[in-house]
Amino acid sequence: MTRRTLAQMIPTLATLMAADTAPSRDQLKQSLSMLGLEFKDEQLDMMLPGLTRSLASYASLRKIEIPSETEPAITFSPMLSGMSLPTGPRPFRPSRAAKLPAWKNVEDLAFWPASLLGQLIRTKRITSTQLTKMYLERLKKHSPTLLCTITLTEDLALEQAKQADADLKRGKYRGPLHGLPYGAKDLFAVKGYKTTWGAEPYIDQQFDYTATVIERLTAAGAVLCAKLSMGALAQGGLWFGGMTKTPWNIEQTSSGSSAGSASATGAGLVAFALGTETLGSIVSPSTRCGVTGLRPTFGRVPRTGAMALSWTMDKIGPICRTVEDCMLVLRVIDGPDGKDMAARYPSAIEWQAAAPVAKLKVGVLRADFDRINDEGRKKHYSDALAALAKTGMQLIDTKLPEMPSRELVLMLNVEAGAAFDDLTRNGGVEKLAGQKPQDWPNSFRSSRMTPAVEYIRAARARTILMRQFHEYLAGFDALVSPTGSMTLTITNLTGQPQIVVPCGFPNNDPMGLLFTGHLFEEGKLARVAKAYQDATDWHQKQPAGFSNRSTASA
């Protein structure tokens, strides 16, 4: 289809809707033909009065001010009919306190896992203020290179660190995250600070409230050091300050959209970070930056106070150095808040770090591994599977059945177009740096052409996908694949959780091993991923130029 043909075919859907004028029969016929529909003249004439009334309704709806955080009165649930939440005891038993490595200077701690840093704080071998000042200085030093920080929340961080130290001094210990400095993707509202969404039209945006997950981390004693970069409106790694880089190669993007969260964690600028994912925005940057990312079950973590992109696909999760760290953070941010309509599942996190894994069945998506062409990367993945096998888990070769998935991504595009409809109408999208065909401005405009009937049809096909994938996954405790697996798209549509861990750095190009689990069974999934991580040391590698060691491992 040529641009001229398209322009001739869509007057009723664009020009006429904007002008609130009724279309002619010929204009209606042209628009319907683009959708593959052909009706008789008398049927078209019968449609016109109703269409005219609809145009009037559209005009009235556009006059209603709808705050950006308002959810539609249609809530997605990953739970199929007949499903129930996990029952019985849900113990949370992290790893036992480990023998702490030797260290001399506070910056020696930059790459320590949050679990070990928490031990230092709890045993008063270091103060939160000391740790916070170190990370603030690293953020100041390295952020200009990585372009990973939008706003440094220094005053807030020092205040929270001081409070954490005072609480501990008087015997009030808030848990494993007490006093730990972290960063958050800049789509979480924090009262008193800008929340830019990484996009030019929102550079000066502020909210008079704080996101639920930030409030929960504050209550757990964590210290917010920075609002980290994100791809503009949660796409890619490009924001109004430039392209966020991976610390493993500052000539390359960290990917996105949780770009800064992964980059800062990978460079040892924070103890951990918060990200979000709609279609790969935790898994992809975590892979590119050589860190561990956990995308929880849809509906587990409330999104109140976070930018909405897709109400049926947006999820919040931690980006850390280890699987154990991810579980510590998830426990804090988990659970309904009475505000997010999708976060209504009161299922406690189960985590038994020392539980045996020998009887677990892990499906190996062999075709995904076989598609890897590069021999070096193929060997890394082969070694990863060998290490996984040595843990005693039963590895079973398997293949994904044919399922609809790629075509269902139109639901994301439509919801994103609706979320930023006002920005499209007022021309604000033209201020965004990204203006290529694959960027949001074009997607927002194009989404106007998706009929509601087609969106609903996609939603029904999504139910079929959920049923098929649930039935397939029932034969395994978890799946393992490279990060390029189709399970990434599938599970962002079906709601199952995923964890990605580093499994190699050939030529400073980080690789990720992706694990997929059952709904609300992050604990079992984490046991599988941790077993691999315990058998390897890729998560301990530090990128040159950011390392606190004399020489970085790669």
Chain centroid, CA 553 distance in Å: 28
When comparing pLDDT for 552 and 236, which is higher? 236
Structure tokens at 210: 């704080």
Quickly state the pLDDT bin for 554 (edges 50, 70, 90): very low
pLDDT band, very low/low/confident/very high, at 19 (cuts 50, 70, 90): very low
| pTM, two decimal places | 0.92
Q: Does the structure show a pLDDT above 80 at 3?
A: no
Residue 7 clears pLDDT 70, i.e. is over it: no
Q: How far apart are CA 473 and CA 401, in angstroms?
A: 11
What confidence tens digit (pLDDT) does each residue in 90-99 have? 899 999 987 8
Three-state secondary-structure class, residue 316: strand
Q: Is the dihedral of CA 284, 466, 447, 67 positive or negative?
A: negative
pLDDT band with cut points at 50, 70 and 90 for residue 55: confident
What distances in angstroms separate CA 262 from CA 281, 297, 502, 548, one per listed residue? 10, 20, 12, 18
Angle in degrees, 0-180, between the axes of helices 440-447 and 410-419, rounded to the nearest 10: 100
pLDDT (tens digit, 9 = 90+) per residue, 304-327?
A: 999 999 999 999 999 999 999 999
H-type alpha helices, 440-536: 440-447, 452-473, 487-494, 522-535
**What is the percentage of the chain residues whose pLDDT exceeds 90?**
78
Residue 347 backbone class (left: φ over 0; alpha: ψ -120 to 50; beta: rest)? beta
Mean pLDDT of 118-138: 98
Confidence (pLDDT) at 451: 87
**3-state class of 438 per DSSP?**
coil
Yes or no: domain 109-404+459-540 corresponds to CATH 3.90.1300.10 = yes
Q: What stretches of 194-268 show up as alpha helix (H) in DSSP? A: 212-219, 259-266
- Please report the pLDDT score of residue 360 as a whole number: 98
551 has a pLDDT exceeding 70: no
**Residue 14 clears pLDDT 60, i.e. is over it:** no
pLDDT tier, 288 (very low <50, low <70, confident <90, very high otherwise): very high
pLDDT at 174 over 90: yes
Say what angle helices 212-219 and 323-333 make with each other, to 10 degrees.
Answer: 110
Give the rounded distance of the alpha carbon of 406 from its chain centre.
18
Chain segment 367-383, per-residue pLDDT in tens: 999 999 999 999 999 99
Longest dimension (CA), the chain: 85
Rounded to an integer, what distance in angstroms lies between the CA atom of residue 115 and that of residue 353?
A: 12
What is the pLDDT at residue 20?
52
Structure tokens belonging to residue 371: 């598609």
Q: What is the pLDDT of residue 47?
A: 81
Asked whether the predicted pLDDT for residue 237 surpasses 80, the reply is yes
Stretch among 8-17, 244-253, 324-333 having the lowest mean pLDDT:
8-17
pLDDT at 144 over 90: yes
- Rounded to an integer, the average pLDDT of 453-466 is 92
Token match 């008193």: residue? 192
Report pLDDT digits (tens) over 405-419: 989 999 999 999 999
At residue 11, the pLDDT reads: 46
Whether cis (ω within 30° of 0) applies to the bond prior to 257 is yes
Mean pLDDT over residues 290-295, rounded? 98
CB 355 within 8 A of CB 527: yes
d(C-alpha 534, C-alpha 37), whole Å? 58
Q: What CA–CA distance (Å, rounded) separates 328 from 265?
A: 16
Q: Where are the domains of the chain?
A: 1-64, 109-404+459-540
Structure-block tokens of residue 298 = 């849809």
Per residue in 509-526, pLDDT (tens digit) is 999 999 999 999 999 999
Mean pLDDT for all residues in the chain: 92
Q: Is the pLDDT of residue 420 over 70?
A: yes
| AA identity, residue 219 | A
Which pLDDT value is given to residue 549? 67
